[in-house]
């Protein structure tokens, strides 16, 4: 049976781009992503623009406010990456990252067999040692 281990490493320093985009998508209509990105002033303006647009939607001004809010929200999809980079750079953080590493599995065993065979071919280990270790790997 082949056993494989997957580990996840996440650098949580600074602002994370994934979190920022999730907040933008799910709560962006309230400007929550801007609060997360340390832009509270524009977050409040975005929140007020949305609320005033909804409250006054029966009038033409409400539709204008909602259109302005929607354009701003849509443009934030482009600007979030830049804002996250600026906030992290200002805090002295080079990057926040997410990485997966795997150990074990069929490729790891094949690599070990190849290394073992190379040791045998170079004469570092005997035929008996080679057969014993090969049997243990297989």
Would you say residue 41 lies in a domain?
Answer: yes
Task: Check whether residue 64 and residue 114 sit in a common domain.
Answer: no
In contact, 33 and 20? CB cutoff 8 Å: yes
Same domain, 69 and 110: no
Same domain, residue pair 88 and 35? yes
Examine residue 2 and state whether it is found in any structural domain, yes or no.
no
Q: Report, as an integer, the average pLDDT of 85-105.
A: 74
Q: Are residues 28 and 89 in the same domain?
A: yes
Q: Residue 112: is its pLDDT beyond 60?
A: yes
Clarify whether residues 90 and 108 are in a common domain: no
Looking at the structure, do residues 90 and 107 belong to the same domain, yes or no? no
Q: How confident is the model at residue 76 (pLDDT cuts 50, 70, 90)?
A: very high
Let me know if residue 59 belongs to a domain: yes
pLDDT digits (tens, 9 = 90+) for 31-75: 999 999 999 999 999 999 999 999 999 999 999 999 999 999 999
Q: Predicted confidence band at 93 (pLDDT cuts at 50, 70, 90)?
A: confident
Domain that holds residue 107: 103-137
Number of domains in the chain: 2
**Model confidence pLDDT, tens digit, residues 5-37:** 666 666 667 899 999 999 999 999 999 999 999
Residues 81 and 60 in one domain: yes
Pair 78, 130 in one domain: no
pLDDT band for 109, please (50, 70, 90 cuts).
confident
Say if 69 falls within a structural domain: yes
Q: Is residue 6 part of a domain?
A: no
Number of neighbours of residue 76 by Cβ within 10 angstroms: 20
> At residue 81, does pLDDT exceed 70?
yes
Instruction: Look at residue 5 and tell me if it is in a domain.
Output: no
Contact 116, 132 (CB under 8 A): no
């Amino acid at each position: 049976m082949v056993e494989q281990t997957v580990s996840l490493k996440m650098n949580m320093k600074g602002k994370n781009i994934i979190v920022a985009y999730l907040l933008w998508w799910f709560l962006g209509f309230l400007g929550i992503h801007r609060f997360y990105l340390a832009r509270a002033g524009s977050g409040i303006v975005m929140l007020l623009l949305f609320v005033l647009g909804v409250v006054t939607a029966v009038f033409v001004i409400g539709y204008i406010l909602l259109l302005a809010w929607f354009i701003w929200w849509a443009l934030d999809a482009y600007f979030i990456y830049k804002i996250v980079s600026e906030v992290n750079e200002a805090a002295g953080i080079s990057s926040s990252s997410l990485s997966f590493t795997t150990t074990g599995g069929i490729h790891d065993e094949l690599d070990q067999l190849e290394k073992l065979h190379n040791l045998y071919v170079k004469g570092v280990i005997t035929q008996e040692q080679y057969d014993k270790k090969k049997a243990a790997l297989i």
